[in-house]
Each structure stands twice: as structure tokens, then as C-alpha cells.
Amino acid sequence: MDKILEQIPSRIKELREILEISALDMAADIKVPLETYNKYENGELDIPISVLYNIAGKLGTDVTVIMTGESPRMESAAVCRKGKGVQVERFPGYEYTSLAYNFKSRTLEPLLVLLDSSHSSTAQLLHSGQEFNYVTEGMVKVIVGTAEYILHEGDSIYFDATLPHSQSAVDGSASFITIIQK
């Protein structure tokens, strides 16, 4: 695990302890078993992005604080230059870059997602709100509930993010922009 990823669980634990929230209460509030939550907080298990958002919400902070240790600073506009977003690889073959990490009080989370089909696909996730995906390169298989969609460069999908969903590259690598409503 790289240094940035190692810091995420310790930040979560520190913030939780400062706010005097028990691990049991945190696990219950974000709807994961206590054993799973403890593995997240101890760095034994990768934390899905949707869980990071839930944890940030419970802690009353921005997910940027959990990911980087710094608070967003921009209020009217935040520019993200090519290659300069906050990057995190949460699963092998699945890397995302936050494109608006420095904007205060954002209600949408735009991410650039890079996929590599040589790694097994991630488990289906679900979170509150809605989600939009726009394929920028390659082919992406998107599963929403029980429906499967193959999207090509320039295709997009908008869906209810409370349904189990996943994305995976088809034949090589692919990338897409996702916008998640918080």
C-alpha cells in the first residue's frame, strides 16, 4: 500500500476519536458490519469510494480531508489542471482522480476513472444519489442492478446510484468521467 493510502485509515480513526464516535456507532451509521469497518480503519481492507463518502458525511467533513489531510479552499471556482487531481487507486486496475477536490461545499463529485481489464472487476457498490458516466476512451461495461450495458467512447449512462452497480474495462484499458451526486 502506498503512503497516501496508508494515511486514509489513520485520518478516519483520528477524526472519529476526536468526535468521540465509537467504531460500533460508525459502522452502524455507514451500514457496514463492525468487523468490516475495523478492517477499513486498520488498513486491512480497501475502502470503497462510496464508503469514504459515507464516512466523511458521518464525520461532518469533506472527503478531500480524508484523502489528502487538507481542506478544500476554493469557493467560486476550482481549476484542476491535466494530471493534477487527487489520485487514488482503490482496487487493482481501478484508479480514480478527483477533479474538484479543492472546491468547498461541492454537491457533485466529478472523477476521472481509469480501468484496466487485466485485473478482475470490483464488486458492485451502491451509494446515495445519482451517478453519470461518460466514456472518454475504450469500452466500459456498466452493470446497474441486473442490467448490463456496453458503452463505447462518447457514450454515457445516468442511473440511480442506490442500485448495486459496477464498471469494468472491456478488452484492455478504458477511462470515463463519472459525476456522483452526493
Eight-class DSSP state of 47: P
Domain residues for the domain of 92 are 86-181
Residue type, 167: Q
Considering the domain architecture, whether residues 59 and 110 belong to the same structural domain is answered as no
Domain harbouring 40, CATH code: 1.10.260.40
Q: What is the pLDDT of residue 156?
A: 98
Mean pLDDT (the chain) is: 88
Pairwise CA distance, residues 101 & 73, whole Å: 9
Average pLDDT (150-156) is 98
Pairwise CA distance, residues 138 & 92, whole Å: 18
Contact indicator for 177, 134 with CB cutoff of 8 Å: yes
Pairwise CA distance, residues 66 & 29, whole Å: 17
Buried b (16+ CB within 10 A) or exposed e, 5-18: eebbbebbbebbee
| Enclosing H/E stretch for 135 | strand 130-144
Considering the domain architecture, whether residues 92 and 63 belong to the same structural domain is answered as no
Considering the domain architecture, whether residues 150 and 112 belong to the same structural domain is answered as yes
One DSSP character per residue, 65-134 reads: HHHHSS---BSS-----TT-SEEEEEETTEEEEESSTTBTT-SEEEEEEEEETTSPPPPPB--SSEEEEE
More confidently predicted of 57 and 91: 57
Contact indicator for 103, 78 with CB cutoff of 8 Å: yes
Q: Pick from 34, 68, 102: which residue ends a domain? A: 68
Average pLDDT (95-114) is 90
Considering the domain architecture, whether residues 56 and 142 belong to the same structural domain is answered as no
| Enclosing H/E stretch for 9 | helix 3-18
- Distance (Å) of CA 30 to CA 39, 56, 171: 14, 10, 35
pTM of structure: 0.77
Q: Which of 60-74, 131-145, 165-179 has the lowest mean pLDDT?
A: 60-74
Considering the domain architecture, whether residues 166 and 91 belong to the same structural domain is answered as yes
Residue type, 126: L
Residue 74 lies in a domain: no
Looking at the structure of the chain, the number of domains it has is: 2
**What's phi and psi for 154, nearest 5 deg?**
95, -15
Considering the domain architecture, whether residues 64 and 93 belong to the same structural domain is answered as no
Residue 80 lies in a domain: no
